[in-house]
Amino acid sequence: MIKDFKFFNEDANCFDKFFHLTMKEGLIRSVEYDIFSEKLKNTLDNFECEYDIKTTDKYVKLIIDVQNINKKHFEKQLSDIVNNMGYFESKIIDFDNFNEIKSLSFSKNKKFLIFFQKRFDVPQNTPDRLYHATTKHYYEKIKKTGLTTKSQKMISNDLDRLYLTDNLAEALDFCTQKRFFYKQKYNKIKKFDMNIDDWVILEIDISSIPDIKLYKDEKMDNSYYTYDFIPWYAVKIFEEINF
């Protein structure tokens, strides 16, 4: 019997719906940095090489001497670990001249510095579903392009970020605050034609977005932000609000 299920975004077209399922099914969650470091160490111990691994809360750094190693074989082993653990090589540096390279095979030298970072990086215990508040005016654009970062300098001079929350009450309250902000900001602009009384709470399926990096906003409770694009297939209306 075929399992009964509902698509996350019922308003999306057929292609978007199946693309959403494909991305969610194929998504690899990144393991923690210490687990990745241990796996990397176990693999390197199988090679005749000298290496040093440093682990931080943002990346893993590897210094390695490959003079006794077949580079292609080593890179194949390294690629398998990186992909299976949900990581990527963010930077490879030739240790002799400190030039950045794309592959160890691109250099005749033997010593390299490699940085590894998570592909899917979210704070621990973050729910798979988060909320974002916006006007219906902007939602019409989101339906075509997805969610993109934009700063309106509402609270502070932050960089362009996309803010999300795991608390529905916070999302509802944000609609009220942002409506007041718009009212003050555009009060004297005659050509301003956005209806600031119609709002939507959007639900975001974070678990279906590959390569997303999510950060905890320390200035606000229950708040997160990202600099990454959120595709349309991972967005749907959770609630409509009219003031």
What span, in angstroms and rounded, lies between the C-alpha atoms of 122 and 31?
A: 11
145 and 197 co-located in one domain: yes
What span, in angstroms and rounded, lies between the C-alpha atoms of 182 and 138?
A: 13
Among 76, 97, 118, the domain-final residue is: 118
Q: Count how many domains the chain has.
A: 2
134 and 184 co-located in one domain: yes
Q: Residue 95, Cβ neighbours under 10 Å: how many?
A: 16
Q: Which of 122, 113, 92, 114 is nearest to 32 (CA)?
A: 122
- List the domain range (segments joined by +) for residue 235: 123-242
Per-residue pLDDT of the chain (243 residues; tens, 9 = 90+): 344 446 677 666 665 666 666 666 666 689 999 999 999 999 999 888 899 999 998 899 999 999 888 888 899 999 999 999 999 999 999 988 889 998 888 888 899 999 999 988 988 889 999 999 999 999 988 988 899 886 544 444 445 789 999 999 999 998 988 888 888 877 766 656 788 889 999 999 998 888 899 999 888 888 999 999 999 989 999 999 998
145 and 100 co-located in one domain: no
Q: Element (H or E) spanning 71, and its range? A: helix 71-84
141 and 99 co-located in one domain: no
pTM value is 0.73
Is residue 65 within 8 Å of residue 51, measured between CB atoms? yes
